[in-house]
Each structure stands twice: as C-alpha cells, then as structure tokens.
Amino acid sequence: MAGSFVDVVVFRRRLPLLSVVSLLIAAAAAVGLYAGYQRIAPLIQGAGCDAVGNGQVISLNASQAAIAATIAGVAARDSLPSEAVTVAYAAALQESKLQNLHYGDRDSVGVFQQRPSQGWGTTSQLENPVYATSKFFGALTQVPGYQRLPVYQAAQAVQRSADGLAYQQYQPMAVGLTSAFTGQDPHAVWCWYPQKITGLPRSAAASQELSRTFGSVPTHDVADPGTSVTVSNPGDGWAVAGWLVSHAQQYKISTVRYGGYTWSAASGSRGWVRSVSTATPGSVQLG
C-alpha cells in the first residue's frame, strides 16, 4: 500500500538559502528521502497551497491541501487530539501522498489505501475522504495508548503495512501539517488558483460539506461577504478557514475573513493579509 514521495509535496524550513541547499544535499545523500526537496519554490502559475506550521513551510497542491484540511476537520468533529491528526497525516503521506487515489495495491483505494476486502468499506465509500478519515480514526482510537506511541507505530497499528517503519520519514512533515491545519498556528494555510474565481459562491453546498466534515457548524447569511460560519474557538476557526481556502475553487469562494485577517482568491499567493473586519468574533466569513 505504501507510496513514494515525489515533488508534489515540498518540505521547507526557514533557513538561509545556502543552509537550505547544504541541508538538502546532505539529507538526500544520507538517506535518499524527500526527492521533492529539489523543488523549493511553489509553482505560483498553477494552483497550489502553502501550510506554515511548527516552523516549517510545506507546499502542497490544492487537492492535497483540501484533503489535509478534511482530515483536520474530521478530527475536530470527533474531538480528537493533535496526536491523532499527526498519525493520520504520516499514514496518508506514505500511502497516497495525500491524494484520493482510485487505484492501489490489490484493491486498495483512497487517501489511506484502505481495502474493501479487509472490511474498511465499499470502494465508493473509501474514495470519500471524510468517510476514509472517519474509518482511520475509528481504528486508531482502538489502539491502546496510541497518543504515547511513536507516530510510525501508531500508524502501523492501523494500516498493518508491509513496512511499518516507512511512516517514520513523514513524522516531521506530519507535525507541521498538524500545527497548520488544526489552527494551532493561526492564518497558516493559504492557496492560489490559476483562473479567476467568478460567479456566485456555492455557499449552501460549502456549508453542507463543512457540516459533514466538522460536524454541526451553524451558518447564516450576512451582507458582506455573504455567509458566516460560527465556531467555538480560535483554533477551530482557523481550521475552518483552511478548509475554505483549500476548497475555494470547488465552491467559488473568492474571499475568506477571520480573526482580523482576509484571504482573497485574487491575490491568494500573498497569503492572509491583516485587515479591518466587521466580522462578529467567533465567526468565519466567506463570499
């Protein structure tokens, strides 16, 4: 079931350029991991996303970011700790590179390469990231003391892969993704898209999928920018905001506001910009 790491995911630390180059060359020579290190800058001309967490900058394509946001959302829905999210990211990076695959070893499919023949669910169910993540977390929470286990051991207890140690290489990246997508680090996820987002936002569809992912999230119409999502704490707010910007193209979302910051699809590569907001505290606004 295990996948290999390619340059659609880029892992970076905030270091001087020469230090970064030296570190990458040494790491590649020593272990042969992270072939994607060769691509440091994200491809601004196409769709892409950056996640900044735990002192790391991780570049993803838009579909990877959407899945990462979904995993964090399901964890929030089920009130799971950050350790569970980190284990899920390590497993998903190894198995599918955070992609919703429609193929795999034998009958494996989806983000976690789960197998219908092993009782995980039907193929169509497992190709739904919300369902697949729910099944992963359901199995993980049955592992005694999983929060205290090394990440690779907890992932292997769920996945039962041929090479359980393979998950270990993704632990640093998984920790960074956890900090960014769960909202531990604020305004830490942003995306950009190659085509201008036009037309009315699909707010009703976005709200429905948000509720499937995060659980009940009250939404209501506002004059500007259009829809407001009520959240219970700042971390959940940034997790919802990360989900919205990573799904912006799908739901025609051009603006997201939260916590005194605004993300705009028209200038998405700039990230979140501090702004004067009239948003009600505890609400994420989209339009």
User: What is the structure's pLDDT at 287?
Assistant: 93
Q: Where residue 142 falls among pLDDT bands split at 50, 70, 90?
A: very high
User: What is the structure's pLDDT at 219?
Assistant: 87
C-beta of residue 253 within 8 angstroms of C-beta of residue 201 = yes
Residues 114 and 219 in one domain: no
Q: Is the pLDDT of residue 15 over 90?
A: no
Q: Where are the alpha helices (DSSP H) in 14-127?
A: 17-31, 62-77, 82-96, 123-126
Among 197, 195, 176, 277, smallest CA distance to 244 is for 197
Number of domains in the chain: 2
Residues 109 and 228 in one domain: no
C-beta of residue 152 within 8 angstroms of C-beta of residue 206 = no
Neighbours of 168 (CB within 10 A): 16
- Domain end point (choices 149, 181, 213): 181
Neighbouring residues of 44: CB distance < 8 A, sequence distance ≥ 6: 192, 269
Neighbours of 26 (CB within 10 A): 10
Q: Where residue 277 falls among pLDDT bands split at 50, 70, 90?
A: low
- Domain end point (choices 181, 206, 237): 181
Residues 76 and 165 in one domain: yes
Domain that holds residue 274: 198-286
